[in-house]
Structure formats: structure tokens, C-alpha cells
Amino acid sequence: MFPAARVPRSGITIQTNEHFTKRRHSGLGIASCIAGIAIGFVMLGLFLSAHAVRETAAKPGVETTPIAYFVALSVVAAFVLNLVAIGLGIAGLLQKDRKRVFAILGTITSLLALVGAIAILIIANTQQSS
């Protein structure tokens, strides 16, 4: 019924049940969760920075500063890293014999960060055109 396992040096044979062995957390899920939370905060900071740069550049006679280009490039990089975090979460969900808690949390936080960033961009563009 259960496979036999020998305990080293004791000579005792015990029955083990593979179904009740402890499953470990998915490493991909943990990475996705950490990345999703971190990228969410980074995107929030970048959007606040972009708003501050836009306010200073809105004055007459002020040219676009290099910091504006850096912030814009950083937002694009954060979007790409967020897509990677979503991919890690999905990969963590597909792992067998692993706990999926962090993979679910990572996928959800990454999707929320992505949806929130897109919503902020839409709101900013509608306010800018008005």
C-alpha cells in the first residue's frame, strides 16, 4: 500500500505516504509576489515623479529636461518587468507538487499594478487634453 523507506543506521523500515508529504512554496510564485509588490510601488513613485516633471516643464520657456526622458523610459521598463512578474506568477500556478499561495498573490498584485498604471495613464491623458 505505502512504499517502504529505510531509516539510515537504525535498520527500521517505516511506511511513507507520498500524498501527505509537505509541499514547498513555489519559488516562481514567491518571485512574482515580491516583484508585483515592488513594481507597484516603483510605478507609483514614477508617476508621481512624472507629474512633478510635467508641472515644471509646463512653464513657458522651459525645455524638456533629461530627467523627463529618464522617467518615461523607467515607466516603460516597469511595464515590461510587470509583464515578467505576471509570467512568473502564471508559471508558479502551473507547477505541480508546489503550494500556489504566493503564485496567486503574485499574479493578482502584478495584474493590479498593471491595471492601476493603465488607469493612471488614461486619467492623465484625459486631463491633459482638457
Instruction: Write out pLDDT tens, residues 101-123.
Output: 999 999 999 999 999 999 988 98
pLDDT tens figures, 70-87: 888 999 999 999 999 999
In percent, the amount of the chain with pLDDT more than 90 equals 50
Assess whether pLDDT exceeds 80 at residue 128.
no
**How much is the pLDDT for 130?**
57
Indicate the helix (H) or strand (E) that contains 5. strand 4-6
Domain borders along the chain are 24-129
pLDDT tens figures, 56-66: 776 776 667 78
Instruction: For residue 10, give the DSSP letter.
Output: T
Instruction: For residue 97, give the DSSP letter.
Output: T
User: pTM of the predicted model, to two decimals?
Assistant: 0.74
**How much is the pLDDT for 61?**
67
